[in-house]
């Protein structure tokens, strides 16, 4: 005798539920085989008594993403590209455990957010900061951290609000003004960006900080049409200024290029053969965007566009050079439609 409608589906869901629990525990070399099996079950599920439960579908997709080295969906770029996080690493897992043991500790929340951001888990990092701000509402560092990650998600106006609040809470925080400058810059508010970067540069206590702030101060002033002010800002980068943090060599070389001490050919890096080579991508994106931007404010939009397009083919979507190139290309696309 046939069962009543739904009886077979109920039994199937119970079976699939047990399968989901079993699949979730499989790791290592066997995981690849399990993903293949699960994919087959996804197809077979449409022919069985009941549909494949959402939990198993989600776990199967998550396992497949992990196998490909891809984490959760984070945002859609301004050019329509879907951008993804990376899976948890040991640092995220350890930071999460520490915070779970002391959930009202703002420093541990900040550490977890930074670990999550290190895996491009920006939505997760923002959520971590938001939870911590509920019990630590005057913590400027949490607002800086959340604003920083909002910038990475292209939520520029929201980042501006958080970073302006952080600067108001603690006017001696260089990072608050630095990231506030970026929020204005990516919105095309170049004079406001320059004002924020000038405040950050005034707080710089090392050559590294000076190099970092001056790069963005200079280009903000150039984009604002304030060439004389830009030249005055760049004059602080004397031949004696040296970086100690390796990544700041990218900005220092750009500043030497702006000063005419290096040619475009000398400063531009080779495009990485592997788009997943994060260090090479960071160097390429930073410098190539800077050179493209130089062409843009020197009235060669065609060359600028060529360079920007090279940047956005990579995978380091959280690099400021990538965000800048993407933003400019989106503006060009919008202008072409008008």
pLDDT tens per residue across span 175-234: 999 999 999 999 999 999 999 999 999 999 999 999 999 999 999 999 999 999 999 999
pLDDT at 69: 67
pLDDT at 141: 98
pLDDT at 22: 45
Outline where 170-300 has alpha helix (H).
174-186, 190-202, 207-223, 227-234, 248-258, 264-267, 278-297
How far is residue 183's CA from residue 305's CA, in Å, rounded to a whole number?
22
Q: Which residues pair with 73 in a beta bridge?
A: 84
pLDDT digits (tens, 9 = 90+) for 279-293: 999 999 999 999 999
Low-confidence ranges of the chain (pLDDT < 70): 1-69
pLDDT at 31: 44
pLDDT at 275: 84
Name the region of 225 (left: φ>0; alpha: ψ -120 to 50; beta: rest): left
How far is residue 209's CA from residue 289's CA, in Å, rounded to a whole number?
20
pLDDT at 46: 40
What pTM does this model have? 0.82
Contact between residue 306 and residue 293 where contact means Cβ atoms under 8 Å apart: no
pLDDT at 23: 42
How far is residue 203's CA from residue 171's CA, in Å, rounded to a whole number?
10
pLDDT at 53: 53
């Amino acid at each position: 005798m046939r069962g009543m409608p739904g009886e077979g589906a109920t039994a199937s869901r119970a079976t699939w539920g047990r399968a989901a629990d079993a699949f979730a525990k499989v790791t290592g070399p066997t995981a690849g085989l399990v993903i293949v099996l699960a994919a087959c079950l996804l197809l077979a599920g449409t022919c069985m008594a009941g549909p494949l439960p959402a939990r198993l579908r989600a776990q199967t997709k998550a396992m497949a993403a992990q196998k490909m080295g891809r984490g959760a969906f984070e945002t859609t770029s301004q050019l329509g590209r879907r951008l993804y996080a990376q899976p948890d690493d040991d640092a995220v897992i350890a930071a999460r455990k520490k915070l779970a043991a002391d959930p009202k500790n703002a420093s541990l929340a900040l550490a977890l957010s930074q670990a999550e951001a290190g895996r491009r888990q920006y939505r997760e990092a923002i959520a971590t900061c938001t939870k911590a701000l509920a019990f630590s509402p005057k913590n400027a560092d949490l607002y800086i951290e959340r604003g920083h990650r909002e910038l990475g998600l292209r939520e520029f106006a929201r980042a501006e609000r958080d970073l302006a609040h952080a600067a108001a809470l603690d006017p001696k925080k260089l990072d608050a003004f630095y990231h506030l400058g970026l929020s204005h810059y990516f919105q095309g508010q170049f004079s406001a960006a320059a004002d924020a970067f000038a405040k950050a540069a005034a707080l710089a206590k090392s050559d590294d900080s000076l190099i970092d702030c001056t790069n963005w101060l200079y280009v903000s002033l150039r984009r604002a049409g304030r060439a004389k002010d830009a030249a005055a800002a760049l004059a602080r980068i004397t031949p004696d200024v040296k970086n100690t943090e390796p990544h700041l060599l990218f900005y220092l070389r750009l500043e030497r290029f702006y000063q005419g001490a290096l040619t475009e050919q000398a400063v531009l890096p080779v495009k990485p053969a592997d788009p997943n080579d994060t260090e090479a991508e960071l160097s390429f994106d930073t410098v190539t965007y800077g050179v493209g931007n130089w062409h843009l404010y020197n009235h060669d939009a065609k060359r600028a566009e060529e360079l920007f397009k090279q940047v956005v083919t990579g995978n380091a979507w959280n690099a400021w050079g990538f965000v800048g190139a993407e933003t400019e290309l989106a503006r060009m696309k919008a202008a072409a439609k008008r």
